[in-house]
Structure 1
Amino acid sequence: MSSSLVLSKDAQVTHTTSNGTTTPDGTTVGVTVGATTPDIAQTSRNARNAQDAQDAQNSTIDIAAQPAGVTDGPTTPAATTPAPATRRTGTVKAAPVPPRLTTTVPAEYVHRAALAEVFLTGCEKTGPETYILTGQWPRAHTFFNTLDGRHDHLQACETFRQTGIYLAHAEHGIPLGHHFVMQDMTMTTHPEHLTIGSTPTNLTLHTTLSRPGRSPQFTITLKITDPQGQTLSTGYGHFTCISPAAYHRMRTASNPDNTTDPTTHTLKALVHTPTHQDPSIYGRVHSRDLVLAPTHQPRTYRLNPHPAHPVLFDHDGDHLPGMVLIEAARQATYPHPPTTQLTHTQTTFHHYVELTTPTTVTATPPTHTRDTTTHTVTTHQNGRLTHTTTLTHTHSQR
């Protein structure tokens, strides 16, 4: 995707005289009725004399002092102080203040195709590296949902992803068309504050986004609160922005197949095999949301998402998105103890997951504490580790 900056046309200058006539250069002229009219001829002579003096002064400039190969642009006219405006008597009624309207940020700035998948609504810069954004989570989402009527942990992960991309574009000037390489993401949610109410959940996102100088590497921290000030989620992570040319070089060099250019692949290359499984065994309601297929090995699956999924594959791409991998990790650890909620994920993306290479998903046996259950899930392609997610489920408060 490319972007362009549209510049406005040259502003037209309007002059005013006493009778509202049009001057020879096509500008409209007029003055306030009742004001003292100056001697126009004398004014014209004074202007010509001043211009002649300025031209004589300009002719003494040493041309050799100008930079080589630089074409001088038009001289900007000197600013003039406008005459005091005529004051009108009487009471002027103040215009009513329009209500503040809510809309989403541009979908292109969060790399979404569907406006319904944009969760951010505004942004205010509060310091050199700090921002307060606003957002909203819908009451009913087609994918980011839970069986017990709460906002989804992965919805917080997606909001985190959108925040980093938006700030890089809107506040740091990263061009549209650049690629974002997410290196790691750690998210914590608080289920006791995620219950869906009778209205959409309005969000305040307290964010820090830093980069060393003009480096393409970014560090982001985030805290999401609701209108009551309760913390819904916190997170931090790292990502890198790279140009299309650099992305192509990196992707070609890291292709495990070494046979085709991976950047030429589209989602049409992703093969999905219907498994006719009951989605409830993975904690889902709809079959289209399943991303795993069983194997003969315990706690081992084959990655099997549907390329037509409207959320996981909101737009085309040449590799599997990170959100697919985090969802695969969640499904691979189900069923967890029924009295627990997913409260923490720590994810590292080691390599791109290619569309044309089979992917194995493996979950470790769980470890337990008094209040938590923890799993680690990995994905491999051709024996190479591509992604790791550690998930912590916390027992509901008794």
Structure 2
Amino acid sequence: MTTHVPGEFVHRADPADIIPTGWTQLRENRFSVSARWPAAHPFFSPVAGDRHDPLLVAETIRQATMLIAHAEFGVPVDDQFVMWGLSYNADPEALTLDGLSSDLTVDVVCSDLSSSGGRLRDLRTTVVLTRDDRFLGTGSALARCTSAPAYRRIRGARMAALGRPVPLIPGVAPHLVGRELSKDVVLGPGTRPGQWQLRINTDHPTLFRRPNDHVPGMVLLEAARQAGTLTIGAGAFLPTVMDVSFSRYAELDSPCWIETEIVSGVDPSTTSVRVIGHQDGHRLFHCMLTSPCRELAVAGAGLDTRLAG
């Protein structure tokens, strides 16, 4: 690993999970972040046989946003950092694996900054990603920074869930969601077709990198991707376009239900899936995923909820 970025700046402890390798300020509120995607990773594994996992784009945007907030805007590392919205649009051909780790450049522009008590509170980042001087994709994120004392006040009694074990429900078969290992499955059977229950594995080294009082947003993004894969009925589902907005925290002690539907579009070369998360009668998030049709095996698509092993 060649990263020189402190893990606390991107909220990652394992060096293998740290994507940015450095950053430079270009001018006010504009930065260049160097990054590296691993050729092999225990969770962000190749998709569709020869493509980098598109969720690496989302994770790169998330980490680059946190890096700039901490390193350049002085956000304390113990602040809570919440993404309320994230989107990306990636070139599927630029995601092709070449057998080596991929060096990227992330051009970051910060806007819509707001402060409270002299501390950064909200910011929006807009990014352009290139790989070996080739356009890879664009994206954006909307984030809020909350001080540790304020966060404890906001969460109140919910803080008691911090580090508390969560019963692990049975998962769907890994191959149905494009996974090889059952520990990476984040969906369990639902009560009807097109619905699944969020499967929370607090021992997962990537998705739960530290004790938490709520479900991390990356778990919900992975749930959306796996639900899209189940809905299309193809393990090669390649979500090169994602747009997600979060409405509230996903709690650890109540079932979270993931529901999907295929969305008709004007572009016959792509397939889009709408994914919505609900908990206790409230919407948690709304996500749209779009994949190139040539990556899909739509024929015989089913909503199989067979249990793993």
TM-score of the two chains, using structure 2 as the length reference: 0.88
Which residue among 47, 57, 60 is the counterpart of 1:159? Answer: 60
- 8 A contact 1:269–1:355 mirrored in 2: no
Q: 2:3 aligns with which of 81, 103, 119?
A: 103
**In structure 2, what is the Cα distance between the partners aligned to 1:393 and 1:337?**
13
Is residue 2:91 matched to residue 1:190? Answer: yes
Deviation at 1:213, TM superposition (A): 5.6
Q: How far apart are residue 301 of structure 1 and its match?
A: 0.7
Q: Match for 1:318: what amino acid?
A: D
* Aligned mates of 2:292, 2:199 — CA distance in 1: 28
1:299-318 → structure 2 map (5 Å cutoff): 299-318=194-213
Shift of 1:388: 1.1
Amino acid in the other structure paired with 2:187 = L
Residue 136 (structure 1) aligns with: 36
User: 1:128 offset after TM fit, Å?
Assistant: 0.3
Q: Could you say which structure has the greater relative contact order, defined with CA pairs below 8 angstroms and 6 or more residues apart?
A: 2
Tell me the secondary structure at the aligned position of residue 301 of structure 1.
strand
Q: Give distance in 2, aligned partners of 1:304 and 1:333.
A: 15
Q: 2:278 aligns with which of 377, 380, 383?
A: 380
Partner of 2:125: 220
1:264 maps onto 2:160 in alignment: yes
1:294 and 2:189 are equivalent in the alignment: yes
Deviations 1:284-328 (A, max 9, x none): 111111001112301011111321111111111110010110111
Task: Report if aligned partners of 1:120, 1:135 keep a CA contact under 8 Å in 2.
Answer: yes
> What percent of counterpart residues are identical?
33
Question: For the Cα contact (< 8 Å) 2:163–2:212, is it kept in 1?
Answer: yes
Q: 1:264 to 1:192 in 2, by over 3 A?
A: same
Corresponding residue SS for 1:342: coil
Q: Which amino acid aligns with 1:235?
A: G
> How many Å apart are 1:373 and its aligned residue?
1.1
CA distances 1:124-175 after superposition (whole Å, capped 9, x unpaired): 0001010011010111111112141211111111111101111001000111
| Structure with the larger strand share | 2
1:128 alignment partner AA: E
Q: 2:144 is paired with a residue of what secondary structure?
A: strand
Q: What is the Cα deviation at residue 188 of structure 1?
A: 1.3
Q: Tell me, what secondary structure is at the counterpart of 1:105? A: coil
* Count of equivalent residues: 287
Other structure's SS at 1:231 match: strand
Higher Cα radius of gyration = 1
Shift of 1:357: 1.2
Query: 8 Å contact 1:269–1:356 — kept in the other structure?
Result: no
1:393 lines up with 2:291 in the alignment? yes
CA apart distance, 1:333: 1.5
**Which residue in the other structure is 2:305 paired with?**
none
Question: What one-letter code is carried by the residue in structure 2 that aligns with 1:314?
Answer: R
Structure 1 runs of 4+ aligned residues shifted over 6 Å read none
Equivalences for residues 176-255 of structure 1 within 5 A:
176-212=77-113, 214=115, 215-227=120-132, 229-252=133-156
RMSD between aligned residues: 1.8
- Whole-angstrom CA distance in 1 between matches of 2:4 and 2:42: 19
Tell me, in whole angstroms, the C-alpha distance in 2 between the residues paired with 1:198 and 1:362.
Answer: 36
- Measure, in 2, the Cα distance between the counterparts of 1:123 and 1:201: 17
So what's the TM-score if we normalise by structure 1?
0.69
User: Structure 2 CA distance, aligned partners of 1:389 and 1:262?
Assistant: 25
Aligned residues of 1:341 and 1:395 also touching (Cα < 8 A): no
- In the alignment, which of 133, 149, 164 is matched to residue 50 of structure 2? 149
Deviation at 1:337, TM superposition (A): 6.6
C-alpha contact (below 8 Å) 1:121/1:135 kept by paired residues: yes
SS of 1:268's partner is coil
Tell me, which stretches of 5 or more residues in structure 2 are unaligned? 296-309
